[in-house]
Structure 1
Amino acid sequence: MAKAKRARAHVARLDLTPAQAAVLDGHAHIARALWNLLHEYFTFRQGRFPSPKECDAAIRQARHEIDWMGQLPAQAAQAVLKTYRQAWENFFNPGHPAKRPTFKSRLRSRMAVDVPQARDLQISRINRRWGAVNLPKIGRVKFRWTKDLPGLTKGGPPGRITGARLVKQAHG
Structure 2
Amino acid sequence: MLTGRRYLLAFTEEQAAYAERVGSICRAVWNTALEQRRDYRRRGASISYVEQARQVAEAKKDPACVWLADAPSHTLQQTLRDLDRACRTHGTWKVRWRSKVRNAPSFRFPDPNHIVVRRLNRRWGEVRLPKFGPVRFRWTRPLGGVIRNATVSRDAGRWHISFCVEDGIASAAPSGKPPIGVDRGVAVAVATSDGELRDRAFATPGEQQRIRRLQQRLARSRQVHGHNRRSRRRDAARAQLARLHARIRARRVDFAAQTAVRLVRSHGLVAVEDLPIKRMTASAKGTVERPGRKVAAKAGLNRAILSKGWGEFLLRLEHSARYHGATVVKVNPAYTSQTCHACGHVAPDSRESQAVFRCVACGHQAHADVNAAKNILAAGRAVAGRGDLAVGRSVKRQPPERLTA
Q: Using CA pairs below 8 Å that are at least 6 residues apart, which structure has the higher relative contact order?
A: 1
Mean CA deviation greater in 52-61 or 15-24? 52-61
Aligned amino acid, residue 17 of structure 2: A
> Does 1:164 find its partner at 2:164?
no
User: Paired residue for 2:58?
Assistant: 61
Q: Percent identity?
A: 29
Q: Is the 8 A contact 1:30 1:69 kept in 2?
A: yes
1:7 maps onto 2:2 in alignment: yes
Tell me the residue number matched to 1:73: 72
Match of 1:157 in 2: none
Contact 2:10 2:135 in 1 (8 A): yes
Q: Among residues 32, 36, 41, which one is paired with 1:41 in the alignment?
A: 36
Q: Which amino acid aligns with 1:89?
A: R
Provide the rounded CA distance (Å) in 1 between the counterparts of 2:20 and 2:50. Answer: 28
Taking the aligned partners of 1:118 and 1:29, their CA distance within structure 2 comes to: 23
Bigger Cα displacement from structure 2, 22-31 vs 54-63? 54-63
Find the aligned partners of 2:97 and 2:58 in 1 and give their Cα distance. Answer: 21
Partner of 1:31 in structure 2?
Answer: 26
**1:20 to 2:15 alignment:** yes
Match of 1:140 in 2: 134
Unpaired runs of 5+ residues, structure 1, are 1-5, 93-98, 152-159
Q: Shift in Å at residue 8 of structure 1?
A: 1.1
1:54, distance to aligned residue in structure 2 (A): 1.2
Q: 1:102-121 counterparts in 2 under 5 A?
A: 102-121=96-115
In structure 2, distance between residues paired with 1:50 and 1:82: 13
Question: Bigger CA drift: 133-142 or 45-54?
Answer: 45-54
- Give 2:47's aligned residue: 50
Query: Superposed, which structure 2 residues align to 1:84-123 within 5 Å?
Result: 84-92=83-91, 100-123=94-117
CA distance in 1: counterparts of 2:130 and 2:100, whole angstroms: 23
CA distance in 1 between counterparts of 2:155 and 2:69 reads 25
Letter paired with 1:87: A
Q: Shift of the alpha carbon at 1:171?
A: 4.7
Alignment correspondent of 1:130 = 124
Instruction: Identify which range, 47-56 or 21-30, moves more after superposition.
Output: 47-56
- Cα distance, 1:44 vs structure 2: 1.0
CA contact (8 A) 1:150 1:161 kept: no
Helix, strand or coil at the partner of 2:155: coil
Question: Shift in Å at residue 101 of structure 1?
Answer: 0.8
CA drift at 1:64? 2.1
Q: Which has the larger radius of gyration?
A: 2
Verify the 8 A CA contact 2:111 2:148 in the aligned structure 1. yes
Provide structure 2 residue ranges, at least 5 long, that are not aligned to the other structure: 159-405
SS at match of 1:56: helix
Point out the structure with the larger strand share.
2
Question: Counterparts of 1:150 and 1:58 in 2: how far apart (Å)?
Answer: 39
* Superimposed CA distance per residue, residues 90-123 of structure 1 (whole angstroms, 9 cap, x where no aligned partner): 214xxxxxx8112211111121011111111110
Normalized against structure 2, the TM-score is what? Answer: 0.37
Return the letter of the residue paired with 2:36. Answer: Y
Instruction: Give the Cα separation in 1 of the matches to 2:57 and 2:50.
Output: 11
Q: Is the 8 A contact 1:76 1:116 kept in 2?
A: yes
Dislocated runs of 4+, deviation >4 Å: none
Per-residue deviation, residues 136-167 of structure 1 (Å, max 9, x unmatched): 1111010001111133xxxxxxxx10110101
Query: 2:273 corresponds to which residue?
Result: none
TM-score (norm 1): 0.84
2:354 corresponds to: none
Aligned residue identity for 2:90: F
